């Protein structure tokens, strides 16, 4: 059996560990053959592949990024679609696809499976916003990177008695902000799930400052303050038509400074959170998911993705993952908010 693997959408630490887990198990246990599609769905719709022999995955679980490359190509755009892909798979002798990706990737994988293609999924996103899996790999590393960066902002903030705002990733959900904010002892954590007024934020900042602290605000890129209607976006749309986010910290800083009189600086962490070596937790999770994806292929569980349920790896339908976003529940925000100000 020949299996094609793709990594699609925004990259995240742990992608290579999934590829290694799948290739090693497939070769060792089932004698399968592997190829990789270059740059996500682009490689699939163009039939652009590379061989993935055992030696190609040697030592890659600790490598950031993806050896296959990625893109935000939509496999239904233009002349592409199921028929074009089927023709490529037949020509290349590929029997099944393992698609590693987030919401957009898995939605496309579902449509293609509905059209008769044999695809299983592996969920991936630093945002940790996919339902039907307790954690996605990449999230733990992103939180670690963000926390280390915020700790550094904190010391320079303390030296200058400034308010520091750290903007982290999180398009629809605030998991990175919540965890990195809690880990670094933030005086306010602002997430997309909770609208908060600029007055309230300023109050928390002032309270912390009055106690002699350098106020620290952690904000997710998708946060919408109560005076705004939608997330801050000035960078146009991505290929799936979604606004590119980033920059809310720059909007908040002068407003907080004007209201509190405290010098305020913003730092946008951006793609640093998605780069570099994965944490041990993410390597283990990603390796296990990659190996479990082989079981899905062997069992012919097309249209399903592997997931983490507690400490066990499970198999769930794409629908279960795509129906809802895994947002930060109210009680988790309330718990964190006790320590604000
Ligand atoms: O979906 C993961 C994510 O990192 C989001 O947090 C962010 O909005 C987006 O990807 C950024 O995408 P790009 O790398 O295409 O700019």
Nearest to 300 by CA among 77, 53, 95: 95
Tens of pLDDT, residue by residue over 41-86, are 999 999 999 999 999 999 999 999 999 999 999 999 998 999 999 9
Q: Which atom of ligand 1 is nearest to the CA of 169?
A: 6
Q: Which residue's CA is minimally distant from atom 13 of ligand 1?
A: 10
183 neighbors 147 (Cβ within 8 angstroms): yes
Q: Which residue's CA is minimally distant from atom 8 of ligand 1?
A: 171
Catalytic site positions: 127
Q: Tell me, what's the pLDDT at 239?
A: 74
Rounded to the nearest angstrom, the distance between the alpha carbon of 271 and the centre of ligand 1 is 8
Tens of pLDDT, residue by residue over 47-58, are 999 999 999 999
Rounded to the nearest angstrom, the distance between the alpha carbon of 72 and the centre of ligand 1 is 10
Give me the mean pLDDT over the 31-47 stretch.
98
Rounded to the nearest angstrom, the distance between the alpha carbon of 307 and the centre of ligand 1 is 21
CB 53: neighbour CB atoms within 10 A? Answer: 12
Rounded to the nearest angstrom, the distance between the alpha carbon of 141 and the centre of ligand 1 is 15
Which pTM value belongs to this model? 0.95
CB 83: neighbour CB atoms within 10 A? Answer: 11
Q: Which residue's CA is minimally distant from atom 10 of ligand 1?
A: 10
Q: Report the percentage of the chain scoring pLDDT > 90.
A: 95
Fold observed for domain 2-127+278-322? Rossmann fold (3.40.50)
Nearest to 71 by CA among 47, 40, 104, 46: 40
Q: Tell me, what's the pLDDT at 323?
A: 82
- 169 touches ligand 1 (CB under 6 Å): yes
- 101 touches ligand 1 (CB under 6 Å): no
- 10 touches ligand 1 (CB under 6 Å): yes
- 129 touches ligand 1 (CB under 6 Å): no
First to last CA, the chain: 58
Rounded to an integer, what distance in angstroms lies between the CA atom of residue 245 and that of residue 251?
13
Q: How confident is the model at residue 238 (pLDDT cuts 50, 70, 90)?
A: confident
Residue 240 has pLDDT above 80, yes or no: no
Rounded to an integer, what distance in angstroms lies between the CA atom of residue 221 and that of residue 248?
6
Give me the mean pLDDT over the 20-26 stretch.
98
Q: Which atom of ligand 1 is nearest to the CA of 246?
A: 8
Domain boundaries, given as residue ranges, for the chain: 2-127+278-322, 139-275
Q: Tell me, what's the pLDDT at 185?
A: 98
249 neighbors 149 (Cβ within 8 angstroms): no
Judged on CB neighbours under 10 Å (0-12, 13-18, 19+), 236 is: exposed
Rounded to an integer, what distance in angstroms lies between the CA atom of residue 328 and that of residue 317?
22
Rounded to an integer, what distance in angstroms lies between the CA atom of residue 306 and that of residue 95?
19
Rounded to an integer, what distance in angstroms lies between the CA atom of residue 162 and that of residue 262?
6
Q: How confident is the model at residue 293 (pLDDT cuts 50, 70, 90)?
A: very high
Same fold, 2-127+278-322 and 139-275: yes
Judged on CB neighbours under 10 Å (0-12, 13-18, 19+), 90 is: exposed
Q: How confident is the model at residue 324 (pLDDT cuts 50, 70, 90)?
A: confident
DSSP helix/strand/coil, 115: coil
Tens of pLDDT, residue by residue over 247-289, are 999 999 999 999 999 999 999 999 999 999 999 999 999 999 9
The answer as to CATH 3.10.129.10 being correct for domain 139-275 is: no
- 102 touches ligand 1 (CB under 6 Å): yes
Rounded to the nearest angstrom, the distance between the alpha carbon of 215 and the centre of ligand 1 is 27
- 267 touches ligand 1 (CB under 6 Å): no
């Amino acid at each position: 059996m020949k299996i094609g693997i793709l990594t699609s959408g925004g990259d995240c630490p742990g992608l290579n560990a999934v590829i290694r887990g799948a290739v090693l198990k497939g070769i060792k246990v089932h004698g399968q053959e592997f190829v990789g599609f270059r740059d996500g769905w682009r490689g699939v719709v163009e039939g652009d592949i590379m061989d993935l022999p055992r030696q190609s995955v040697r030592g890659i679980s600790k490598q950031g990024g993806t050896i296959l490359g990625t893109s935000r190509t939509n496999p239904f755009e233009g002349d592409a679609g199921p028929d074009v892909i089927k023709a490529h798979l037949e020509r290349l002798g590929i029997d099944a696809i393992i698609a590693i990706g987030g919401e957009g990737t898995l939605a496309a994988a579902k449509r293609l499976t509905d059209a008769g293609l044999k695809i299983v999924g592996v969920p991936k996103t630093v945002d940790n916003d996919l339902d039907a899996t307790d954690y996605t790999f990449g999230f733990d590393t992103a939180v670690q990177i963000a926390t280390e960066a915020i700790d550094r902002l904190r010391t320079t903030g303390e030296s200058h008695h400034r308010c520091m705002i750290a903007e982290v990733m999180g398009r629809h959900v605030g998991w990175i902000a919540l965890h990195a904010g809690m880990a670094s002892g933030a005086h306010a954590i602002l997430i997309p799930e909770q609208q908060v007024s600029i007055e309230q934020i300023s109050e928390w900042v002032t309270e912390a400052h009055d106690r002699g602290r350098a106020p620290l605000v952690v904000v997710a890129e998708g946060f919408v303050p109560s005076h705004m209607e939608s997330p801050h976006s000035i960078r146009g749309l991505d290929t799936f038509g979604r606004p590119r986010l980033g920059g809310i910290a720059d909007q908040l800083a002068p407003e907080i400074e004007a209201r509190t009189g405290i010098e305020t600086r913003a730092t946008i962490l951006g793609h640093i959170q998605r780069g570099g070596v994965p944490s041990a937790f993410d390597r283990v999770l990603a390796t296990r998911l990659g190996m479990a994806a082989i079981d899905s292929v062997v069992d012919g569980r097309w249209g399903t993705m592997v997931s983490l349920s507690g400490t066990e790896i499970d198999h769930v339908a794409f629908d279960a993952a795509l129906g809802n976003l895994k947002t930060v529940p109210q009680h988790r925000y309330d718990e964190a908010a006790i320590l604000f100000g």
